[in-house]
Each structure stands twice: as C-alpha cells, then as structure tokens.
Chains A and B, each alone.
Chain A
C-alpha cells in the first residue's frame, strides 16, 4: 500500500515538475494585477456620512504611508460636506498625523502612516463628516497622491478605482 502511495506521489511530483518547467518557458501569460487605491462612494445615513479608502494587491511589505496632496495642492475635493466636521480615522494600524480641510474651501489634504507594519490589502482610512447637501461628493485626484511601502520605497505603479462596488483582498 505504502509503495503505491509513494509511486502516486512521485508521479504527481513528476507531472507538477514538468508543468512547472513548461511554465518556465514562458508560454503562459498571467494577467498583471496592479496595486490599487480604492475610494468608496459617499455613504449617508441621515445627516452623517463616511467614505472608506482601501488598498488591494499592494507589493511585498505593503503600503506604510500615503499622502493626499499638500495644503495649496490638495488631492481631495468635496462638495455638500461640512469641512469643519471632517475627521479621518486610520484603519489597520494607520494613523493620521496631519490633515487639513479648511484652508481652501472644498479641498482637503492628509497624511497617513503605519509604523508597525505595511498593509497588503484592506481599509486604511475612514473619513467621516456631516453632509450639507443632497448629493455629497468626495473625489481623489490620483496625480496628487503619493505612497510608500514598508521598506520606505516609493510605490510608483498603481491605479485608482473609485467606481467598483466590490473588490477583493
């Protein structure tokens, strides 16, 4: 019985190795999954609202810091939101050392960092606020966003998604 098991395992290993070596020749092409910054829609309950900001498929080590523009060159624009009520809360170990939504009306910037570890996928920020209009908006300009990984290296290739109803992590 044990001999059969041994042969079966050896055969499986052989097939696996052959397939692997075939793979090494480059016949197969796997779709490239770019790191993603995912900005959720504005969720409103009564007069209170929030936006979740998540990441997915971050490179090895994960995202450890992110900057949404600077004061005067903000990455966030919003309408129908009381800027004095905006509070950004870090998730999965992220903290928000600096944020500004009042200097320029309708615009915001923030920095979030994660000292203990990087995040490969999951929520990193929850922005809560009071809404003032019927259809509040919260938009991120990806050209003004910068991020770095757990090794303090820039993550230069990534994509923004602000329309997906569902994502994976």
Chain B
C-alpha cells in the first residue's frame, strides 16, 4: 500500500512537471492496422505520446502507449545533474490494470579516474516474478592499462555483458519495456559481488578479460576471456573463454575469419566446428549482403546460403543476416522462412521542410508457390508535411493477397 502511494505521488509529481512544461517537446505517433483479408477490418491500433520538459538542467519525460485493447504503458522519467551527481529515474505503470509496475533510480558520480554508481529498483507484485527490490553499487576505475569494474549487488543486478537488465512484458500482447536495473529478490541484503578486470594485452592476444562472480549461494563463476588470439595465419583468429563454475569447467573456442573490407558486397563467413573435440569441419559462406547507395537511393540484395543456421532480421532490426542463435539471444525478430531479400530504400526532402522515406522489401521463400519463389513484400513509407507532421503507410503483401495495411501519422512539436 505504502509503495503504491509513494509511486502515485511520484507519478503526480512527474505529471505536474510536464504540465508546466516550458520549454517542452511533444511527439505523437498513431497507427491503425487494417486486415483486409480477415473477418475484421481494423486489426490493431497503436498510439504513442511522448512529452519531455527541461528546466534547470533536469528533463522530465512522459511516455504513454495506447493499443486497441487499452492504455498499455504509462512511464514517467527524469534525468539531470546536481553538482557532480548524475541522476535518472523511471516509473512504469500499467494503466489498463491500474497497476504500478516498476521503478528505478540511478545515481552516478565521476571523481577523477573513478566512477561510482548506485542503482535502485523495485518490481511490484503485479508482475510475475515480483515483489522484488534492491540496489547495486558499481565502481569503475583504471589502474595503468587495466580497467576494473566492481559491482556489489543487494538484491539487484544491472545490465552488462553477463546480465540483460529487466524486460517487463504485457502477457496478452507481448509488448514490453526494458530497463537497466533488475531487482531479483525482495528485502534481501547482500546477494552478489562481481569483479571484472579487462584491458590487458599481450603479444599474441588482443585483450584479456577476467570476471569473478560470487553470490549469496557462494562461488558462482570465474571466467577468463582471451579475445583475438593471433594464430600466425593472417585470416584466422580465435577467441577463447574458460569459465569455472562450481561443478563444471567450460572451454569455448570461437574461431573468426579476418576478411578484407569489401566495397559493396559483405560476405558472412562462419566456421563449422566438428561435432566433437576441438577440430574444424570447414568454412561456410552463410550469406552475403550487397548494398549500393547513390543520391539517397539504397539498393540491397541480402542472400542466405545456409538457411536453418542464419536468418534475415525484420526491418525493425536492420534487415541484416544473423545466426538464429544470436538473434534469439539478443531478442531480435527475424524471418525464419525467407532466404533472400531485395530492398529499395529512398530518402529525400519533401515539401515545406519535411522529408520522405520509402522502403520496399521483397522476400523470397524456398518452396513458395509464387513467381521466382516470391514469399512476401513489405512496403513502408513516410512523407513529411512541413517539418512537424508526417503521414505513414505500411502494407504487407503475400501470395494470399493483401495481408496487412497500416496507416498513421506523426506529429512533433
């Protein structure tokens, strides 16, 4: 009850900041999705309103996201500096369920070569995995060529190479919001200590990094990462990671190929490790990305030669080739079925200070019945009407017909 009351006070405070906003920025993006082939004409609706307000070096923000099923997210934030102290705060609410969900407060200070940070977060019981709260203290500094980072956890982890932070997901829709500070338990004292030392370089190894992690359960892991091991073969390098856990020792060897920079064709080579032992089966050309840009026009041909291992990410994630394992690990959406993408992108100036941007992506699918194995075409366009307003259009065509049509507008002030 007290937590919710505190959160409500914070929310009203942040809302008040934005209400008296001078100067403030305002962005409003609205999209209506239509499904012409389905039984329902209007398939989806999304409207995002973002307001920011700056006063005396502090910026207050408000982010509101609406969908057809309701008011999904309301986030308030603040960021600024007091003396040498950098502060940022975020509070997230789920208005459709009238719930306070999450809050984080980050304070950072730099004193010469030393940087200190305090990260506090709280997850409410409205989220599966809550209640949880706690804080983490981060200290970073350099001793000679070595960089040392120490993180002391009191029920909270912060995003870094080993941890992802927290992503709060709306179960029904899958929409999510991500934050750096991840509270993992409730009301705990010390829960973990991690020390990372990096920056050491020796003759044949580009960089050595070691990490020791202890938790309230005891020793968690000790890892050594050796990046860019020179093999003496100009086109071949290795990354070596040795991780000691309580009952296991893991050795990972990641071979890499050094390819000269190409003008417009970027090949994606990978090395096929043998199924057992430390030997290699061969080199695989996973695909290539041919790109040519001229005067605001970009043509691309992205081809996957090893489907099942590689995939093309969606336009939201750059339409690049990634291994499926990496895409899943990094949370990137990808097309599992398409092996080739032809893309045309045009960017230019529209009238009255606005800009236009067009993207036409055509995908080809193995075994598809369409002409040349055509699987799907995606088009999105945005045209500025003046510098503050733009109209947006997106459509998806597949062999079954017009799959999706979305129209919308954006407004900046």
Contacts and interface: CB of A to CB of B under 8 A. Distances in A.
Contact of A116 (B172, B215, B328, B331): B328
B287 to A, nearest CB: 15
A16 B150 contact: yes
Contact of B152 (A15, A41, A48): A15
A108 interface: no
A31 B123 contact: no
B2 interface: no
Interface string B168-193: 11111110100000101110111111
A94 B195 CA distance: 36
Interface residues of B, number: 68
Interface in A76-133: 90, 92-93, 95, 114-117, 119, 122-123, 130
B336 interface: yes
A9 B127 contact: no
Given A28-B216, A117-B325, A8 B114 contact: yes
A168 B169 contact: yes
Interface residues of A, number: 56
A30 interface: yes
Contact of A46 (B42, B184, B216, B309): B42
B324 A116 contact: yes
Nearest to B325: A117
Interface stretch (B138-146, B231-239, B294-302): B138-146
A5 interface: yes
A52 interface: yes
Given A1-B112, A23-B215, A45-B68, A167 B171 contact: yes
Contacts of B128: 36, 38, 56, 161, 164, 166-168
A93 B169 contact: no
Given A13-B195, A45-B44, A38 B166 contact: no
A12 to B, nearest CB: 5
A137 interface: no
B285 interface: no
Contacts of B192: 23
Given A46-B40, A169-B176, 10 more contacts: A15-B152, A16-B193, A20-B214, A28-B190, A31-B185, A116-B323, A130-B39, A165-B172, A166-B168, A168-B127
- The 8 residue pairs across chains A and B that have the minimum distance between CB atoms: A46-B40, A20-B214, A28-B216, A164-B128, A116-B324, A117-B325, A167-B128, A16-B193
Interface of A: 1-2, 5-6, 8-9, 12-13, 15-17, 19-24, 26-31, 33, 36, 38, 40-41, 43, 45-48, 52, 54, 56-57, 90, 92-93, 95, 114-117, 119, 122-123, 130, 161, 164-169
23 contacts: A1-B112, A1-B113, A5-B113, A12-B139, A16-B150, A20-B193, A21-B214, A23-B190, A23-B191, A33-B184, A38-B171, A40-B172, A43-B172, A48-B40, A54-B174, A56-B128, A93-B336, A117-B329, A122-B331, A164-B171, A165-B94, A165-B97, A165-B99
